[in-house]
C-alpha cells in the first residue's frame, strides 16, 4: 500500500538489515456463492489495476493480523484467518511515487469473509469485485499472483 506507516508512509519502509527485498502481506478474501468459491479483488488507488488487499507488515501484529487489517481498510472485509500460515507467496515490482520501482515479496493469507461493509476507511477510493478464482487469475496483472490464483 502506498501510504502505510503503518498507515502513512509514502514509500516502502526500510528493509531489515541484510534483506534485499521489501516485504508485504496480502489478504486472499474468500467466500462461497451457491457452493462455488469466490475471490474478492479490489482496484489499486492510483493505477486502478485489480489486486488483493495488501500492505506493509505492522509492528506488534502478526503478518496474518496485518493482512486482516489491510482487508478491512482497503476492502471493508470482516472475517477470520483460515490459517496463521500464508497460503502462498508472490513477488512483484512495486512502482514507487518517485518513479522508481522495488521488488516486493508478498505473503498471502487466506481470509474467510463473514461481512462486507459499505462504510470502511478506503470506501470510495477503490472498486471491489467478487469473481471465480479462474477469473481472478485473468484479471490481475502480476504473473506470479496469476499463478497463485490459478492453483486455487
> For position 124, which CATH number holds?
3.90.79.10
Which pLDDT does position 16 carry in this prediction? 44
Residue 4 domain flag: no
Residue 17 domain flag: no
Enter the pTM of the model: 0.84
Which pLDDT does position 20 carry in this prediction? 58
Residue 6 domain flag: no
139-148, long-range: CB < 8 A, 24+ apart: 139/41, 139/50, 140/41, 140/49, 140/50, 140/51, 140/52, 141/49, 141/50, 142/90, 142/92, 144/90, 144/91, 144/92, 145/51, 145/52, 145/90, 145/92, 145/106, 147/90, 148/88, 148/89, 148/90, 148/108
Residue 3 domain flag: no
At 140, phi and psi to the nearest 5? -80, 150
CA–CA distance, 84 with 31 (Å, rounded to integer): 18
Which pLDDT does position 17 carry in this prediction? 40
* Closest residue by Cα to residue 74 from 26, 8, 130: 26
The H or E element spanning position 31 is strand 22-33
SS3 99: coil
CA geometry: angle 139, 144, 140, nearest 5 deg: 10
List, run by run, the mean pLDDT of 10-residue segments along the chain (152 residues).
Answer: 33 45 94 96 93 97 98 98 96 85 94 97 97 96 91 83
Residue 17 exposure: Cα atoms within 13 Å on the Cβ side: 0
The DSSP secondary-structure symbol of 119 reads S
| Domain of 66, in residue numbers | 22-150
Counting the structural domains of the chain, the total is 1
Which pLDDT does position 91 carry in this prediction? 92
Which pLDDT does position 8 carry in this prediction? 30
Residue 1 domain flag: no
Amino acid at each position: 500500500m502506498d501510504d502505510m506507516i503503518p498507515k502513512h508512509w509514502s514509500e516502502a519502509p526500510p528493509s531489515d538489515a541484510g534483506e534485499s527485498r521489501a516485504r508485504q502481506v496480502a489478504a486472499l478474501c474468500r467466500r462461497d456463492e451457491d457452493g462455488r468459491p469466490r475471490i474478492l479483488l479490489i482496484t489499486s488507488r492510483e493505477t486502478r489495476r485489480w489486486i488483493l488487499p495488501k500492505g506493509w507488515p505492522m509492528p506488534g501484529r502478526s503478518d496474518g493480523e496485518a493482512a486482516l487489517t489491510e482487508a478491512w481498510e482497503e476492502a471493508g472485509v470482516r472475517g477470520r484467518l483460515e490459517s496463521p500460515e500464508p497460503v502462498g507467496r508472490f513477488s512483484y515490482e512495486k512502482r514507487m511515487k518517485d518513479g522508481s520501482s522495488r521488488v516486493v515479496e508478498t505473503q498471502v493469507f487466506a481470509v474467510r469473509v463473514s461481512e462486507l461493509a459499505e462504510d470502511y476507511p478506503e470506501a470510495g477510493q477503490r472498486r471491489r469485485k467478487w469473481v471465480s478464482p479462474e477469473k481472478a487469475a485473468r484479471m490481475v496483472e502480476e504473473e506470479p499472483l496469476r499463478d497463485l490464483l490459478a492453483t486455487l
